[in-house]
């Protein structure tokens, strides 16, 4: 007899789990299983990167017999449970939730015990094409923000002895799923030196950040693209005399954990929540989904545009999603300053906080137990199910 658990608990957990369970509504994996093959046949000249094929194909096999399974049985009765293996693709919603949760736990444990400022570094529309043409150029975007914050640290610290800690996360998407690469930075509102002394930093000079970010990024792109970029570089200096857009107001956010989870939410997974999918019309081959326009964030309630609904061809939807899959082994989350691996030893109480030493894997059993406080391997008869290697399958 197959072991079962309360349906309401399982359904509530499904959006955050790594288990193969039934879902209501439309899922991205189902859309790709239904349309990916036809999409490729109808778009033979589309220049799709190899990493896209690898991630999509693995995602479509997630939690299926194709990737194997682990078999658990009860030593006291006939109950058993089969747990299908996950794909660990960077384009899988269920695996991505697990990855983001792991990263959030790791990041929370290395941050200094002080407030952090969330700062967004955005580039002009005209520069996005260079990063879309070659995704490895996103390294340049990371380095431009890194050098900008190093300069801020030097200006406020008056010495290289004082260092900030900051985590940079690259997003390549806007809320409408367009290609809009930008960097989210979590910056410590304070600096420390090698002695572990702490110096508060509550004032961020955004004029300095905007202009420094613009100069650094344009110089790095000039080095990358050559003399042909010089004319565009000069035009941007003229049109962007106040610098590139850098936004990071002081907030009253009390939960640092919530801020971390917000910034990391789409790392290692598709760039939209499945809850935004309203309808899939298989006859017309159309999908309907919603998003909240970014412009509303800065407007009072009476002036907000409100939720925008988009209905478009499913093939266009697929194109919008796959363009954001990062290159193989490309790190979209990076740690700098005292949060870099070599700098963490200077953080007071760092060794006490990091007793687990590294990024501890969060297995499906632990995720369920942490969220819903029940053991999925606990048999109704009271015994704990045991793993059976001989009955498991690993292709």
pLDDT in tens, 282-334: 999 999 999 988 765 666 766 677 789 999 999 999 999 999 999 999 999 99
Q: How far apart are CA 182 and CA 202, in angstroms?
A: 24
Domain count, the chain: 2
Q: What is the pLDDT of residues 191-202, one digit of tens each?
A: 988 888 888 998
Residues 84 and 142 in one domain: no
Q: How confident is the model at residue 260 (pLDDT cuts 50, 70, 90)?
A: confident
Query: Is residue 89 a contact partner of residue 62, using CB atoms and an 8 Å limit?
Result: yes
Confidence of residue 349 (pLDDT cuts 50, 70, 90): low
**What was the pLDDT predicted at 5?**
43
The larger pLDDT score, comparing residue 295 to residue 185, is at 185
For tokens 């002080």, what's the residue? 114
Residues 250 and 194 in one domain: yes
- Domain containing residue 187: 114-271+336-348
Q: Looking at the structure, do residues 250 and 187 belong to the same domain, yes or no? A: yes
* Cα distances (angstroms) measured from residue 24 to each of 8, 15, 274, 278, 372: 12, 10, 11, 12, 20
Average of pLDDT values for 93-109? Answer: 84
Of 186, 183, 201, 188, the C-alpha closest to 144 is 183
- Residue 183 pLDDT greater than 50, yes or no: yes
Give domain status of residue 392, yes or no: no
Confidence of residue 370 (pLDDT cuts 50, 70, 90): low
365 and 242 together in one domain: no
Residues 242 and 152 in one domain: yes
Q: What share of the chain is helix, strand, coil (3-state, %, to 5)?
A: 40, 20, 40
Instruction: Name the token pair of 33.
Output: 């299983």
User: Is the pLDDT reported for residue 169 higher than 70?
Assistant: yes
148 is a domain residue: yes
Question: Bridge partners of 53?
Answer: none
> Is 378 among the domain residues?
yes
Say what the pLDDT of residue 20 is.
44
Parallel, antiparallel or unpaired: strands 69-73 and 386-387 = antiparallel
Q: Does 133 share its domain with 21?
A: no
Q: How confident is the model at residue 268 (pLDDT cuts 50, 70, 90)?
A: confident
Structure-model confidence comparison of residues 158 and 299, the more confident one: 158
Identify whether residues 200 and 53 lie together within a single domain: no
The whole-number pLDDT of residue 357 equals: 42
Distances (CA, A) of 221 to 30, 130, 140, 328, 394: 40, 9, 7, 23, 46
| Burial of 174: CB neighbours in 10 Å, binned 0-12, 13-18, 19+ | middle
C-alpha pair distances (Å), 335 with each of 110, 193, 221, 271: 10, 17, 22, 22
In a domain, residue 366? The reply is: yes
- Higher per-residue confidence, 222 vs 261: 222
**What secondary structure letter does DSSP report for 113?**
S
Q: State pLDDT tens for residues 30-69.
A: 999 999 999 999 999 999 999 999 999 999 999 899 999 9
CA-to-CA distance for 121 and 152, rounded, in angstroms? 14
pLDDT at site 296: 58
Tell me, yes or no, whether 2 lies in a domain: no
Domain membership of residue 305 (yes or no) is: no
Compare 269 and 319 and report the one with higher pLDDT.
Answer: 319
The candidate with the shortest Cα–Cα distance to 164, out of 130, 188, 198, is 188
Task: Please indicate, yes or no, if residue 320 is contained in any of the structural domains.
Answer: no
Q: Are residues 119 and 266 in the same domain?
A: yes
Average pLDDT over residues 346-353: 58
14 vs 337, higher pLDDT: 337
Q: Give a yes or no: residue 283 inside a domain.
A: no
| Token pair in block for residue 307 | 């939720």
74 and 147 part of one domain: no
Taking residues 336-351, report their average pLDDT: 77
Shared domain check, 137 and 255: yes
Give me the sheet containing 246-247, strands edge to edge. 246-247, 116-122, 179-188, 165-173, 333-337
pLDDT band for 343, please (50, 70, 90 cuts): confident
Domain co-membership, 244 together with 188: yes
Q: Which pLDDT tens digit goes with each residue over 124-150? A: 999 999 999 999 999 999 999 999 999
| Residues with Cβ within 8 Å of residue 262, at least 6 apart in sequence | none
Q: Which of 83, 78, 75, 82 has the alpha carbon at shortest distance from 383?
A: 75
State whether 233 and 373 are in the same domain: no
């Amino acid at each position: 007899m197959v072991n079962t658990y309360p349906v309401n608990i399982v359904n509530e957990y499904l959006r955050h789990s790594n288990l193969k369970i039934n879902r209501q509504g439309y899922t991205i994996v189902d859309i790709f299983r239904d349309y990916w093959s036809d999409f490729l046949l109808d778009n033979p000249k589309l220049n799709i990167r190899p990493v896209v094929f690898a991630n999509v194909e693995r995602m479509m096999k997630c939690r299926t017999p194709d990737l194997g399974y682990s078999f658990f049985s009860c030593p006291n009765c006939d109950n058993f449970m089969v747990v299908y293996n996950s794909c660990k693709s960077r384009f899988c919603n269920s695996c991505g939730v697990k990855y983001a949760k792991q990263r959030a736990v790791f990041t929370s444990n290395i941050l200094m015990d002080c407030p952090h400022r969330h700062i967004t570094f955005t580039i002009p529309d005209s520069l996005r094409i260079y990063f879309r043409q070659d995704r490895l150029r996103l390294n340049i975007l990371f380095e431009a923000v890194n050098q900008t914050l190093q300069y801020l640290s030097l200006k406020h610290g008056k010495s290289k002895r004082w260092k900030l800690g900051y985590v940079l996360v690259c997003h390549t998407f806007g809320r409408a799923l367009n290609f809009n690469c930008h960097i989210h930075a979590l910056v410590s509102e304070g600096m420390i030196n090698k002695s572990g002394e702490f110096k508060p930093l509550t004032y961020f000079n955004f004029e300095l950040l905007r202009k420094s970010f613009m100069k650094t990024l344009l110089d790095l792109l000039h080095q990358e693209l050559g003399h042909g970029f010089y004319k565009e570089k000069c035009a941007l200096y003229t049109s962007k005399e106040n610098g590139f857009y850098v936004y990071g107001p002081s907030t009253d956010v009390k939960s640092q954990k919530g801020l971390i989870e917000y910034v990391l939410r789409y790392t290692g997974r598709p760039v939209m929540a499945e809850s935004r999918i309203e309808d899939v019309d298989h006859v017309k081959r159309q999908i309907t989904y919603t998003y909240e326009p970014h412009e509303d964030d800065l407007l009072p309630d009476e002036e907000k545009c409100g939720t925008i609904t988009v209905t478009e061809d499913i093939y266009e939807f697929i194109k919008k999603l796959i363009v954001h899959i990062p290159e193989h082994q490309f790190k979209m989350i990076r740690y700098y300053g005292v949060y870099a691996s070599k700098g963490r030893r200077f953080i007071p109480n760092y060794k006490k906080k990091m007793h687990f030493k590294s990024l501890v894997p969060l297995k499906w059993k632990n995720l369920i137990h942490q969220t819903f406080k029940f053991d999925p391997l606990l048999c109704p008869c009271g015994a704990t199910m045991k793993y059976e290697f001989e009955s498991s399958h690993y292709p």
